[in-house]
Structure 1
Amino acid sequence: MDINALLAAELSATPAQTAAAVSLLDEGATVPFIARYRKEITGGLDDTQLRQLADRLAYLRELQERKTTVLNSIAEQGKLTAGLQAAIDACDNKTALEDLYLPYKPKRRTKAQIAREHGLQPLAELLLAEPFRQPETEAEAFLNEHITDSKAALDGARAILTERFAEDAELVGTLREKLWREAALCAEVIEGKESEGEKFRDYFHHREALCRMPGHRALAVLRGRNEGVLRVFLRYQDEDAPANAPDAYADAVAAHFGIAERNRPADAWLRDTVRLAWRGKLFVSLETEALSALKERADNDAITVFANNLKDLLLAAPAGRLPVLGLDPGYRTGIKVAAVDDTGKLLDTAVVYLHHEAAALATLARLVKQHRIKLIAIGNGTASRETDKLAAELLRGLPEHGLHKITVSEAGASVYSASETAAAEFPDVDVSLRGAVSIARRLQDPLAELVKIDPKSIGVGQYQHDVNQSRLAKSLDAVVEDCVNAVGVDVNTASAPLLARISGLNQTLAKNIVAYRDANGAFPDRKTLLNVPRLGEKTFEQAAGFLRINGGSEPLDASAVHPEAYPVVAKMLAKQGLTAAELIGNRERVRQIRAADFIDARFGLPTVTDILAELEKPGRDPRGAFQTATFAEGINEIGDLQAGMILEGVVSNVANFGAFVDIGVHQDGLVHISALADRRINDPREVVKAGDVVKVKVLEVDVPRKRIALSMRLNDAAGAEKRAFRQPENRSRPAREARDKKPVNSAMADAFAKLKK
């Protein structure tokens, strides 16, 4: 198997590109480093392509190792033929490999193996090859001390053929694809579980084409099965079909082995053997495989959605270096307050109570004046709206301070508060107050603060506890790494958790950098990083370009220009007759430089072009401009909403079927994919992403169920009679009967039933 060729075909690249990328990865280079600083070598493969390449490379190498194991196992049995080896060598996936290995895979003694030991293999082969033979008569010739009658002989022969049919790789592959295309996934409530499983009511009588089932519905159904509420199975025939109806799948097995009903003596026996092989072995195995494949596909969808939302959240525009007052709302325990300066340093803390409004306002006013606060960050949890009202009163009482209040997501703040990272940062601060610090800082710089929290705790995914946890963690860690390196960090202010995400660094090196900084003061230049314990030349190469030093002795250290490329800049400066300080940021002079004049054997056009872009806008932040939503006054609870209202909100989450929008009433509303734009879209991310500020129209409000239907098409008619979307029709008979007995659920009832956070 030519791994480079396979990777190239999948990535729409050349084998030379993939070979170069594989070589760099094997040498220990990281994806961000390769994507940013080795464009000439890889032909410009971006970070997304490189992530795909790294994942597929691991899979293909595991496949190669498994092939070696399989070939050795078959060879030791003395059964390896040239044709079998060629088929194994040609396999490009693990499923096909295991299909080929199945007949040779060591297993517990089966009925078929026992029958072979008792000499019944020739009988099985005879009846399959010559169906004009009479089974009972032929069986008489195979009686012995173990096989005492013809029925036992025929049962043994049947076991041999059944195993052979079920282990035919070509047949299994054909039936697997046919079942995936044609079968329906069915779910039924387990009797007596109706009340316990109320949240799965939409799936009590459900039938849907397996191959077209969206990931979020698949995960919901499988969760219902795992919780003991639903029975989940595949149906490949109409449930009304009689027991003796033709079975296309059994027919496919028969045709594969040349078995047909021609009124020959062994035909009926062979047909019974085929049915037993299909229903008792093949279907049971393929049903399990199909449900596993559905789960894997649904996992991939959910993990992709989670990763995309996380990326959008991490790359949300920072409010910038302004003093912030963080408010962590609460009723009984009070509002936890933390004041931080423009660098995020904790200045002061307090606890105020909503039921003592005058005292609370006095305390908050004192903190604002004392620490020159410019922004108030309000967590969006319990008592958020009441806290927002309190902040509004504060703003009205201090107009001269130019204060602004902003509601931010507090997802993960409590996780951070109790973490080792928070304890190390604030050993003398009460756990309950650390969350307010996190809320304040994530407004200043979401990326720098959120990297301290396990990505799975940030709250931008669905069904995150149902998907493969190792794959989820790997995917989210890759997102965090890419985001941190895309933005870069100031090595003289960054925390250890943030530094640990930089290309080439780990937690130990990050702590060593912080310790060196604390002991020796700010780093004057990038070269000084080589004095940090255990930070060698290779690590420096990987990390240096992503670490910024502002106001240091080398102006280029504040940019994304890698130190290895400083000689190129030196040539540019010499030709222009300028110093680095004079050229950096001088757009006119930078644009006078011809990239082609500075290309050499090591640095090609991509790198030189990147250098010029950095010189023009040094240390540019790829994140957009900061913006925030203004929630409507007087709209505090879901009961305050009315169909037809047009409100401003923030996209809190994006799923494959739509986007959730925080409009300031504790419960996010859903904009279905069909209501996101006036045109047809296939992916909600074509229109919105997490953190976007959008205007929406309230279409429908279901107060008892706490569900809100929204639309970004502001001309849409509101009201229940104009529902934007409905549940796909359930094609099973029980579902049709249920639908006829009661009204169809509202659009929001359907959508929210499928998103169990």
Structure 2
Amino acid sequence: MVLRVNASPAVKSVNARLAEELAVAEGQVAAAVRLLDEGSTVPFIARYRKEVTGSLDDAQLRTLDERLRYLRELDERRDAVLASIDEQGKLTDELRAALLGAETKARVEDIYLPYKPKRRTKAQIAREAGLEPLADRLLADPGLVPEEVAAEFGNDQVADAAAALDGARHILIERAAEDAELVGAIREKFWADGAMRTAARSESAASSPAAQKFRDYFDFTEPLDSMPSHRVLAVLRGEKEEALSLTLDGGEDDAYEAMVAATLGIDAAHPGAATPWLVTTARWAWRTKLMMSASIEARVALRQRAEADAVTVFATNLKDLLLAAPAGTRPTLGLDPGFRTGVKVAVVDGTGKVLDTCAVYPHQPQKQWDQAKATLAALISRHDVDLVAIGNGTASRETDALAAELIAEIRSSGTRAPAKAVVSEAGASVYSASEYASRELPDLDVSLRGAVSIARRLQDPLAELVKIDPKSIGVGQYQHDVAPGTLARSLDAVVEDAVNAVGVDLNTASVPLLSRVSGVTPALAAAIVAHRDNTGPFHSRQGLLDVPRLGPKAFEQCAGFLRIRDGEDPLDSSGVHPEAYPVVRRILDRAGVGITELIGNARTLRGLRPTDFADERFGIPTVTDILAELEKPGRDPRPAFETATFAAGVEKVADLTPGMILEGVVTNVAAFGAFVDVGVHQDGLVHVSAMSDRFVSDPHEVVRSGQVVRVKVLDVDVDRKRIGLTLRLDDEVGAGSGKTAPKKAGGRRPERGQGNESQRNGSQRNGSQRDRSGKRGRDSGRGSRAQPNGSMAQALRDAGFGR
């Protein structure tokens, strides 16, 4: 094997590589790595150790943490490979340098391939039979006649010349397949020039109803390096469900065969008696070995990239949902709508404590409309309810109409009436049946727990949603097709960052919420709640040190993120860390006022200079944060609370007509657009091409989950329950098109950047819009960015509307 070494024998340190990737100083990386290794969390480091890391933010630290794990695994694997080759007595300086210069796990494995212990191959058997000199002679002198030379190698293990040549060929094929440089070059070329081709698995599969959602992929081709994640996951799911057959095509075979020939030293331009045999050997090496390995690696790379993109989409949506505006600590009535089983009702106080529960039956078949209104009116009056939260599942609009009528009647009587809002039920049933819910609400029926969760979600989405597995919240794109470990790690990081960005009330937080606080494990969270239940509320942050098993390190990590309202020290309700209280004392001395006079006093605080209070431990970044926190103590980074007002009389898909302008709530954002609930039990799609007058590469640039938006209806398919929407309210309904004709897989593969956008947009829209009847559809998988010059009507057709 020939290795071309492009790196210094001395491998870069992990810190140096991370610094280069993040474009920051190596000292910043070294400090962050040290803190992580000591058990500090990303939120703690980002918030309270800015001087140490040079103000690395949470996004940089998350990337550093992920890459640190990968690079350490790379170094560990590299050391194992070096040791293995050394034990074989085959470790040369050149080989060591190549391994030390390898920057990826794939490169390490390429180099290790010839030395990797493996079962006996045909090439090994041929070497044992003494046939390697035959292969070398034919390579060195193509003028030799293969059959004549091979006849010289007959022995007990080699029957004849044909067997000898067969063995020599296996040796050369294995030599090519284990050449690290060749394998790497083929991998890169296959990825750059290759394409995914899909077709119906069979005629019967193509005609089955279950496979119809994949029909756009029954004759489909797309370049590997530009295939978007949602389409990759869609076709992989189609293959898994036995609707599609997938083929990865690397392009012209001749080019790859020439690469193999060049690596082996075969010169087809100077023919000799052995040249045809050698050229055939190169062809076999590509078609029997390297093609298969390249295809497998490309498939793995496609899935990994698609999973990474899907995880990013899910994480972004989850963050938006967790950081949605809270309605606040106000008495709330939660309604979990239903027809036959009735509307489940729960009233909670400002802290989320359950005050009352029942069920009413205003809808069919019971139709106890007036009785239901009377019951709800009594509950609102008895508990001085400020808010009514209505779940968005089955019978949501009908229940919304009931609440609207009741509120109008209360208002007309001259009494203060509550406000109402529709709340996402995603994951509520999962919570209701969970072990935690059974412990938290042991005396409530499972059906009533959902109403409690709906009410609490309106009060504080973050505090309630942390009780649910993030994967069950329903804001992902193909999350069920993503590696569980990768997804869980990413989503856990999102939840941790969201919780710590907002802060947690120590005296009201649940175990799931506390367990997301920096430095607090689930066991420690349970211990905190148990201590609170047994001894009463905490009066200071220092009281945390009385909790069993909560030591100084855990206190350091969590104290700044926990809030105590009306405690002994006003600073305990702020984001100022207890370790920095001495800095606040110095600020008080300089300002000449007490702590209560200083907190919130913007004029005084803005007149102070951070440099006057910085020292060796607390630098200017931390002092600046302290002054900002004192100005707005315990400030909530979440937006102000607002709700969407659904149009009266628009309650089902059939009530929609093109041209309507409606208010709605963004329920999910995918790579190809956003889904919006306009109150008809079925989300509509705003294609990415209909989000702005400018080109939009990522829908998250324009909208976020939970955002209230105004949309125009462009297209309605009542039978298939599809709604096409636009954020551009001046868009014309039924505009013309202007797309290129499709390129089918049976013909030449389209050039890069061309082809039929409708093909490339995927095929799973019929399972992607989430049904407001209470059933969650498949993950969205259809659609992608329309061509910038395409019309709206065409973009909608590309996304599956009007077919």
Q: Compute the TM-score of the two structures, normalised by the length of structure 1.
A: 0.96
- Aligned equivalents of 1:558, 1:366: Cα separation in 2: 37
CA contact (8 A) 1:206 1:735 kept: no
- Aligned equivalents of 2:417, 2:740: Cα separation in 1: 48
Letter in structure 2 aligned against 1:422 = A
Q: Aligned to 1:484, which of 491, 495, 499?
A: 499
Question: What is the aligned partner in structure 2 of residue 39 from structure 1?
Answer: 50
Question: What is the aligned partner in structure 1 of residue 406 from structure 2?
Answer: 394
1:349 is the counterpart of 2:357: yes
How far did 1:255 drift?
2.1
- Aligned equivalents of 1:275, 1:736: Cα separation in 2: 23
Letter in structure 1 aligned against 2:521 = N
Question: What is the aligned partner in structure 2 of residue 233 from structure 1?
Answer: 247
Question: What is the aligned partner in structure 2 of residue 564 from structure 1?
Answer: 579
CA contact (8 A) 1:727 1:747 kept: no
**Which moves more between the two structures, 188-197 or 446-455?**
188-197
- Aligned equivalents of 1:753, 1:181: Cα separation in 2: 32
Question: What is the aligned partner in structure 1 of residue 257 from structure 2?
Answer: 250
Letter in structure 2 aligned against 1:711 = T
Question: What is the aligned partner in structure 1 of residue 566 from structure 2?
Answer: 551
Question: What is the aligned partner in structure 2 of residue 271 from structure 1?
Answer: 279
Question: What is the aligned partner in structure 2 of residue 78 from structure 1?
Answer: 89
- Aligned equivalents of 1:142, 1:734: Cα separation in 2: 48
- Aligned equivalents of 1:590, 1:425: Cα separation in 2: 43
Question: What is the aligned partner in structure 2 of residue 384 from structure 1?
Answer: 396
CA contact (8 A) 1:561 1:614 kept: yes
Question: What is the aligned partner in structure 2 of residue 221 from structure 1?
Answer: 235
CA contact (8 A) 1:670 1:710 kept: yes
How far did 1:733 drift?
3.2
Change in CA separation of 1:749 and 1:466 when aligned onto 2, cut-off 3 Å: closer
CA contact (8 A) 1:329 1:383 kept: yes
- Aligned equivalents of 2:757, 2:89: Cα separation in 1: 63
How far did 1:393 drift?
1.7
How far did 1:746 drift?
11
- Aligned equivalents of 1:571, 1:751: Cα separation in 2: 62
Question: What is the aligned partner in structure 1 of residue 119 from structure 2?
Answer: 108
CA contact (8 A) 2:126 2:167 kept: yes
SS at match of 1:459: coil
- Aligned equivalents of 2:758, 2:98: Cα separation in 1: 52
How far did 1:635 drift?
0.7
Question: What is the aligned partner in structure 1 of residue 41 from structure 2?
Answer: 30
Question: What is the aligned partner in structure 1 of residue 549 from structure 2?
Answer: 534
Matches within 5 A, 1:349-748: 349-353=357-361, 354=363, 355-399=367-411, 400-719=415-734, 721-722=735-736, 729-733=742-746
Same amino acid, percent of matched pairs: 61
CA contact (8 A) 2:217 2:762 kept: no
Q: Aligned to 1:179, which of 175, 190, 208?
A: 190
Unaligned runs of 5+ residues in structure 1 are 239-245, 738-742
Q: Aligned to 2:155, which of 138, 144, 152?
A: 144
Q: Aligned to 1:190, which of 201, 214, 234?
A: 201
The C-alpha deviation readout for 1:571-612, integer Å capped at 9, x for no partner, is 111112211111111111111211110011111000000000
Change in CA separation of 1:465 and 1:122 when aligned onto 2, cut-off 3 Å: same
Change in CA separation of 1:254 and 1:754 when aligned onto 2, cut-off 3 Å: farther
**Which moves more between the two structures, 660-669 or 28-37?**
660-669
Question: What is the aligned partner in structure 2 of residue 243 from structure 1?
Answer: none
CA contact (8 A) 1:171 1:253 kept: yes
- Aligned equivalents of 1:393, 1:4: Cα separation in 2: 64
- Aligned equivalents of 1:647, 1:85: Cα separation in 2: 66
How far did 1:656 drift?
1.2
The C-alpha deviation readout for 1:419-446, integer Å capped at 9, x for no partner, is 1111111111111100100000000000
Letter in structure 1 aligned against 2:75 = Q
Letter in structure 1 aligned against 2:674 = A
- Aligned equivalents of 1:458, 1:445: Cα separation in 2: 15
The C-alpha deviation readout for 1:437-477, integer Å capped at 9, x for no partner, is 00000000000000000000001001111011100000000
CA contact (8 A) 1:328 1:435 kept: yes
- Aligned equivalents of 1:366, 1:181: Cα separation in 2: 68
- Aligned equivalents of 1:229, 1:46: Cα separation in 2: 45
Letter in structure 1 aligned against 2:258 = D
1:127 is the counterpart of 2:138: yes
Letter in structure 2 aligned against 1:272 = T
How far did 1:751 drift?
7.3
1:5 is the counterpart of 2:16: yes
CA contact (8 A) 2:646 2:664 kept: yes
Question: What is the aligned partner in structure 2 of residue 242 from structure 1?
Answer: none
CA contact (8 A) 2:220 2:759 kept: no
- Aligned equivalents of 2:691, 2:124: Cα separation in 1: 61
Question: What is the aligned partner in structure 2 of residue 740 from structure 1?
Answer: none
The C-alpha deviation readout for 1:171-226, integer Å capped at 9, x for no partner, is 11111111101111000111121114111111111101111000000000001111
Question: What is the aligned partner in structure 1 of residue 792 from structure 2?
Answer: none
How far did 1:57 drift?
0.6
- Aligned equivalents of 2:79, 2:759: Cα separation in 1: 56
Matches within 5 A, 1:198-347: 198-237=212-251, 247-261=254-268, 262-347=270-355
- Aligned equivalents of 2:759, 2:534: Cα separation in 1: 63
The C-alpha deviation readout for 1:80-113, integer Å capped at 9, x for no partner, is 1110011001111100000000111111111001
How far did 1:734 drift?
7.1
How far did 1:127 drift?
1.1
Question: What is the aligned partner in structure 1 of residue 795 from structure 2?
Answer: none
- Aligned equivalents of 1:744, 1:449: Cα separation in 2: 41
How far did 1:731 drift?
3.9
CA contact (8 A) 2:540 2:568 kept: yes
Letter in structure 1 aligned against 2:601 = N
The C-alpha deviation readout for 1:130-186, integer Å capped at 9, x for no partner, is 211111111011110010100000000000000111111001111111110111100
SS at match of 2:205: coil
Change in CA separation of 1:259 and 1:736 when aligned onto 2, cut-off 3 Å: closer
CA contact (8 A) 1:205 1:734 kept: no
Change in CA separation of 1:305 and 1:575 when aligned onto 2, cut-off 3 Å: same
How far did 1:729 drift?
3.7
Question: What is the aligned partner in structure 2 of residue 241 from structure 1?
Answer: none
CA contact (8 A) 1:317 1:623 kept: yes
CA contact (8 A) 2:213 2:765 kept: no
Question: What is the aligned partner in structure 1 of residue 775 from structure 2?
Answer: none
SS at match of 2:676: strand
Letter in structure 1 aligned against 2:66 = D
Letter in structure 1 aligned against 2:355 = L
How far did 1:681 drift?
1.6
Q: Compute the TM-score of the two structures, normalised by the length of structure 2.
A: 0.90
How far did 1:747 drift?
12
Change in CA separation of 1:748 and 1:55 when aligned onto 2, cut-off 3 Å: closer
